[in-house]
Amino acid sequence: MTQAGENLTKINASGVSVFYNEKRALNNVSIDIGENEVTAFIGPSGCGKSTFLRCFNRMNDVIPGARVEGSIMMGEIDLNSKDIDPVLLRAQVGMVFQKPNPFPKSIYENVSYGPRIHGLASGRDEMDHIVEDSLKKAGLWQEVADRLHDKATSLSGGQQQRLCIARAIAISPSVLLMDEPCSALDPIATAVIEELIHNLRERYSIIIVTHSMQQAARVSQKTAYFHLGELIEHGDTRKIFMNPEHEQTEAYISGKIG
């Protein structure tokens, strides 16, 4: 039973392991992702955090030799099931990558692309509304409202990343994955994206991979620390950073290992 103040579970991952051919990249990871929460995955390079992130929208499927074991349940649906169409899954689980990757099209076409291929708009007026609403949610509308037909590549790096967020949410996902979304951005653009993440969690469950422990502390409610393919510790962000249970977590957070 859910206690007062406790978030509902959006995704339950149980016994998830990932192999690249014979190499095990992730070992028996189990974790609950809360509804309308930001969960940060932290840990040294090569620890498995991005590999695990890609399990939630089947992006590992496109890597030759990759194999995923275990179950990842979103409600009654096992995301690993062969019956699940990865294209439809990615409409429910949007993703923002490390470097902004807008399509070589106009700002408008970048946002309208997903709704168009998924048949979410019945006409131009409805598409205009989706584009405007998505850009507003991504905090970009006021900056681009009068130049929607300019090339997306004319935007700054921070604006391009917010455009990619608008593109991801235009198809009304329930989960947003962010793989180091600020690593290519300057501090000012990073602060804007972090504020945006804070606002977006009212509507979405968000999982963010970050190398920045300061960023994890600022934006997340839950933090998971990974090391060498193992989930070492998962819990409330404040507790993980102030009073971790595991020596390994404490050593990473204090900078003794990295």
Mean pLDDT of 167-176: 96
Q: How far is CA 143 from the centre of its chain?
A: 24
Residue 16 Cα distances to 11, 45, 119, angstroms: 13, 19, 33
Residues 97, 160: contact at Cβ < 8 Å? no
Structure tokens at 155: 């935007």
pTM for the predicted model, two decimal places: 0.93
Query: Pick from 101, 98, 100: which is nearest to 181 by CA?
Result: 98
Average pLDDT, the chain: 94
Mean pLDDT of 139-146: 97
Residue, of 221 and 255, whose pLDDT is higher: 221
The 10s digit of each residue's pLDDT in 197-247 is 999 999 999 999 999 999 999 999 999 999 999 999 999 999 999 999 999
The fold for domain 9-253 equals: Rossmann fold (3.40.50)
The 10s digit of each residue's pLDDT in 27-52 is 999 999 999 999 999 999 999 999 99
What is the residue whose two structure tokens read 């408008």?
A: 108
The percent of residues in the chain predicted with pLDDT above 90, rounded, is: 94
Mean pLDDT of 109-118: 95
pLDDT of residue 256: 79
The 10s digit of each residue's pLDDT in 82-98 is 999 999 999 999 999 99
Q: What angle do CA 218, 220, 222 make, to 5 degrees?
A: 135
Residue, of 254 and 109, whose pLDDT is higher: 109
Give the DSSP per-residue string, 71-123: EEEETTEETT-TTS-HHHHHHHEEEE-SS----SSBHHHHHHHHHHHTT--SS
